[in-house]
Amino acid sequence: MSPQVEAALFIFGLVAIGYLAGVTGYLRAEIGDALGEFAVGVALPLLLFRTMLSADFHGAAPWSLWATYFSAVALAWTIGHLVTTRVFGRDARAGVVGGVSSSFSNTVLLGLPLVMGVYGQAGFEVLALIVSVHLGIMMAATIIIFAILEGGEKGFRPVALLRDFVRKLATNPLIVGIVCGLAWRLTGLPLPSLAARFVDGLGNIAGPLALFSMGLGLRRYGISGNLRAGFALAALKLFVMPAIALGMVLLFGLPPLAASVVVLTAALPAGVNCYLIAVQFGTGQALASNMITIATGLGVATTAFWITVLHAIFG
C-alpha cells in the first residue's frame, strides 16, 4: 500500500469513527454540530491564516489553476443538471441542486485534511488557492441561477442579491482567515511568538476535528426515497468530474503537484453545502441528502483509486 493511499484511508477512517460514534448513540448529533462549528469557525481559519503567512504555492499560477478546476466544475454541473432533469424528470429548480451536488466538492472539512495528508504542506498551499475562491464562486452561481429561474414570479433583484452575497462572503471565517494571513504577510512583520503558539495549537487540531465532526454529522442526513438519482449523481461526482479535471490539467499543462491537487479535489465527495442549498431554496432535499451519504460512503474507495491513477501519471 502506497503512503498516499494509506493517508486517504486514515482520513476516511476518522470520518468513519465519527459516524460510528453517532450511529451507536455514543455521542449526540448536536456535539457534531458544535465540533463542526468550532472547526470551521476557529481551527481551520487559523490553519489557513498560518498557511498564507509562508506559502509560495510551488509554481501554481492562480489563474491557470482556477481556470482548470472551475472548467471541470462547470462541465460536471451541466451534466448533473441534465441528468436530474432529462433522465429523472425533475424540474429545473431540482436540476440546480443536482448540478451543485455533482460539482461542489467538500474542500474544507474533507479536502484540507486529505490533501495535507497525501501531499503535505506543499499540496495544502495549492488547495488553499482553490479554497480562497471556491465557496464564493459556487454560492454566487447557485444564487444567480435560482434567481433567474424564480425571476418570473418574484422579480430579479440583482442589487439585493449582490448585497446579501457580499455580506455572507465577508463574514465567512475561512475567507477572513485567508485575507488576514495575506494582509499580515504583506506587512513583512514576524508573528509574535505567543500568537504563533496559539495559531499552531488550534491550527494543528483542525484536520482531525473537522473529519470527526463531519462523520458525526453524517448520521442526520441518511438515505430516503428514490436512490437511483443519488447513485447517479454520486457517480458523476466521484468519477466523471475528476476524469474531466484530469483532462483539463493535461490540456492546461499544470505542474504535477498542482495537477494532482486539482484532480484529487475534484474527486472529493460533495459536502453539506449541497443539502443546505436544497433546504434554502426548498427543493431537492432528499436528492442532496442521498447523494452526500452515498458519495461519502463510496469516497474511501474512489479516492484511493484516483490517488493511484495520479501517482501513475505524475509520479
Are 177 and 17 in contact by the 8 Å Cβ rule? The answer is: no
> Tens digit of pLDDT for each residue in 31-69?
988 998 999 999 999 999 998 887 776 555 688 999 999
- Helices 112-154 and 62-82: angle between axes, nearest 10 degrees: 60
Amino acid 94: pLDDT: 93
> Tens digit of pLDDT for each residue in 97-122?
999 999 999 999 899 999 999 999 88
Q: The pTM is what?
A: 0.88
The fold of 3-310 is Na+/H+ antiporter like fold (1.20.1530)
Mean pLDDT of 76-91: 96
Least confident of 8-22, 35-49, 155-169, 197-211: 155-169
Q: pLDDT exceeding 90 applies to what percent of the chain?
A: 61
pLDDT of 222 higher than 80: no
Q: pLDDT exceeding 70 applies to what percent of the chain?
A: 93
Long-range contacts of 36-42 (CB under 8 A, 24+ apart): 36/109, 36/210, 36/213, 36/214, 36/217, 38/209, 38/213, 39/109, 39/206, 39/209, 39/210, 39/213, 40/108, 40/109, 40/173, 40/174, 40/210, 41/173, 42/173, 42/202
Residue 105: beta bridge partners?
Answer: 270
Amino acid 217: pLDDT: 82
**CB within 8 Å of 177: residues ≥ 6 apart:** 44, 45, 46, 47, 48, 49, 52
Mean pLDDT of 155-176: 75
pLDDT band at 209 (very low <50, low <70, confident <90, very high): very high
Amino acid 144: pLDDT: 83
pLDDT band at 155 (very low <50, low <70, confident <90, very high): low
Amino acid 52: pLDDT: 87
Amino acid 273: pLDDT: 86
Least confident of 8-12, 221-225, 235-239: 221-225
Residue 270: beta bridge partners?
Answer: 105
Please count the residues of the chain: 315
Residue 267 in grid coordinates: 474527486
pLDDT of 157 higher than 70: no
Amino acid 154: pLDDT: 53
Amino acid 61: pLDDT: 66
**CB within 8 Å of 129: residues ≥ 6 apart:** 57, 60, 62, 65, 66
Three-class SS of residue 156? coil
